[in-house]
Structures are given as structure tokens and as C-alpha cells.
Structure 1
């Protein structure tokens, strides 16, 4: 019995250390809009070169996605750095690597691949996503990336609603909570909530959200939480499929 208690204590301590390390990580979400006809070349560059070079320079590959439409117009990926302070030095080390410069030049011999880059810096919400999930249930699935723009001063309200109610209700309606972040906005602007859900299919996602929206428990939670005013001003949502080389799939 004492050995079992000691083992459990050790496991709990190990989990606590892992969670603390995850919460220190600094995340970057990058969205690359490709030039027409260049998506295959862009994917090939990531698969054959870029991921390995990121790892070489201490940058963690988290996920790589394409939107679910037949002719995707962008590639979206998420990276993690050990902490905020290391981001610029690690990225500059990668960008100035002679091997990367050679790969970049060779891949763009017939013209540039990327037309536009959008980037978002984020910190993991340990309370909403207790760990980075990389091994989801097997089988076909799609992901949904959702971004919430809150009314001014309502970040704590959305956090409490997700912490105490929304995530559990999502699970009850067949949705898998994957990861939750808060954005780091320039000029001290209010953070946005960004999170990933996993669904069996796009049809299943829409059906789940339809049932969730009609759930009496959710209706009560929503109404109670908004007695002092609305919380969410706008929501962006994208359906995504992971690329074969994505760690998260």
C-alpha cells in the first residue's frame, strides 16, 4: 500500500512539473496564404525540410493544417517555444541557418510560394487545456479552430464559463476539447480566446453545435453568465484537416 501511495505521489508530482513546463511555453500560430498553384510546393518544403530545421533550432512543431475545402488557399501551423524570451533568438537562428537559406532559395526558383503571412502569439491556458494533446482517438477526424473576440473587460467571464460549464457540455455533445490559448495582442489590447476542437466530420461538428445550442443546460448557463451583458462580440471559425506529417492529427 505504501508503495502504491509513493507511486501515485510521484506520478502527481511528474504531472505537475509537465503542466508547469507547458504553461511556460510561448506559442505562435502562423497562417501562410500561398501564391496560386504553389500549395503543393509549400507543403513539400515543410514536410521535407522546414519541420526538421525548426526542431534543429529548438522550435517545437505542434500542428499543421489545411482548410477542409477542395482548393485550400492557406496553410496554418502552430509552433511552440520554451518561453517568450527565447522566441526571437530561436526564430532568428532558424532564419539565418545556411541550410534553410539554401532550401528556401531552391524551392522558390520558379517564384515565391507565400503571398502573405499572418501570425498570432499565444499563451496556453493550463486551466482550460491541462496538457498538450497529441494522441487523439484513431480514425478520420477534422479540427475546428475557433477565435472569440470578447467585449471589453469580459475575458474573465468567458474563462469562467468555459472552465465551469462549456467544455463539459462540448464533450457531452460529442466534441473533443484539444487546446485552449489566449492571444497576446499588440499595444496592450485585450486578449482573444483561441481553441481547437476535434470532430468526427464537418457534418458531425455542425450537428454537435446545433444540439449544444439547444441544450437547456447551455441556455441556462449562457443566460446566467450574461445577466450583466453579452460576453462574446464575434467568433471566427475554421474547419481544418491535419497534414500527414502534423504531430497533432
Structure 2
């Protein structure tokens, strides 16, 4: 009985720490960066992040959120999310990073046999209001990163549907809600909704998501929300797995 009590207490402490992660985040402005590695260079890129880059980011005030590799092995990319106090701080921190002597030394040593990165894509984001009130769930074995493109003027309708229905219906099927963002479009256009869901493995995820799509409660909520027209024009979805050193899992 004593051992059972101790195990239960340890689990409560562990899950409590996980649940507090989102509350403890200091960032208000986020950047999702996707690196396409040159052929054969992904192991070196991962090692550079693990051994050097992440620590330098942290030293300069950036917040390491999550680091992923794609499940599809032919997709030669590494995706991660950083947090900053605000947009101006982001630019200032990256300038400091570029000029940092430690980073310059690490970078030059890492490319002695060729550059590691062929291309970098950046997406700037803020937290989606009202969609991040849940605690960060326990670690997942698989993630799906989902990006929603809305018809003109429909982004608020989409957020309302997630806030009032979709998030709870995901949880009903066993899917885990992680962070929800709105993109910051430099041209002032309508933002996209970006979020990621988790589950134990890809088969479990696909089964749960299929059950969500067929759920009469979801169908009713979707149809009611679209009485004045369709909301979502298209969705990009990609399966990812966290790297062992990722802060969020």
C-alpha cells in the first residue's frame, strides 16, 4: 500500500510539472523555423542544436519550445519553435546571436566539410486568444502540426469553433491539445491558425482523428458554424516526432 501511494504521488508531481509548462512560458511572440538540411547533413545539424545552438539561444534570452523531425524520412527538415518577449526583442536577440563569438566559432567548425543548411523558412506567430487555457498534456509519441487557411473574414469564426467545440471534441477522442497560434503576416493579410495535436503513435492518432470527423457532435457544431458560409479553405497537416532534447514532448 505504501509503495502504491508513493508511485501515485510521484505521478501527481510529474503531471503537475507538465501541466504548468504553458503557464511558465514568458514569451508573447513566437517563431517557427524549418531548416532543410543539405544531403547527408541532418545528423550534424541535430548535433549542432543539441550541443551548442540551444544553449546559446537560451543564454541570449530566447525560449526553446519544441524541436521536431518529420516522420516521413524523405523529408529532410528540422522544425522548431522559439519564444521571445516581443517582435523587437526577437530581432535584437537574433542580431546578438549572429554576432556571438561562441556561435561564430561553432558555426565555422560545423561547416568545415560543407554547409549544413540549404534553406530556412520562418513563420512568426502569437498565441491564439482563448485557445491556450488548457495545461500542456503528458508527452506524446507523435504530433501532427496543422495549419488552417481561412476564407476572407472567417478567422474569428474558426477560433470560436475551436474554443466552443473542437478542442473538447479532440480530447473526447483522446487527442492531446498542445499550443495554438495565429500567424503574424508581414503584409497585413488575415492570419492562419497553427496548432499541434499529440497522441501515443500515428495509428492511434489517425483512428482518433477519424472518429472525431465522424462524431455527430462535431458534425452538428461544424454545420452550425458554417450557416453563413464555409470557414476553412484548406488545411496543411504534417506528422512529426520530437527530438530527445526537445523541452516540450
**Normalised by the size of structure 2, how large is the TM-score?**
0.88
1:122 to 91, 100, 125: 125
After superposition, the Cα gap between the structure-2 partners of 1:132 and 1:64, relative to the gap in structure 1 and judged at 3 Å, is farther
Structure 2 unaligned blocks of 5 or more? 1-20
State the match for 1:40 in structure 2. Answer: 43
State the match for 2:89 in structure 1. Answer: 86
Whether the 8 Å contact between 2:22 and 2:135 is mirrored in structure 1 is no
Shift of 1:132: 7.1
Q: Secondary structure at the match of 1:221?
A: helix
2:69 to 66, 88, 92: 66
Q: Deviations over 1:203-224 (max 9, x none)?
A: 1111111111110000011111
State the match for 1:177 in structure 2. Answer: 177
Question: Is 1:248 matched up with 2:242?
Answer: no
Aligned equivalents of 1:19 and 1:206: distance in 2?
26
Q: Deviations over 1:25-59 (max 9, x none)?
A: 11000000000100000000000000000011000
**Normalised by the size of structure 1, how large is the TM-score?**
0.88
Shift of 1:21: 8.2
State the match for 1:31 in structure 2. Answer: 34
Aligned equivalents of 2:102 and 2:111: distance in 1?
14
Shift of 1:126: 4.1
Aligned equivalents of 1:162 and 1:143: distance in 2?
18
Shift of 1:72: 4.0
Q: Secondary structure at the match of 1:194?
A: strand
Q: Secondary structure at the match of 1:111?
A: coil
Q: How does 1:51-62 map to 2 (within 5 A)?
A: 51-62=54-65
Q: How does 1:173-212 map to 2 (within 5 A)?
A: 173-212=173-212
Whether the 8 Å contact between 1:23 and 1:126 is mirrored in structure 2 is no
Aligned equivalents of 2:173 and 2:45: distance in 1?
36
Question: Is 1:166 matched up with 2:166?
Answer: yes
1:50 to 50, 53, 64: 53
Question: Is 1:96 matched up with 2:99?
Answer: yes
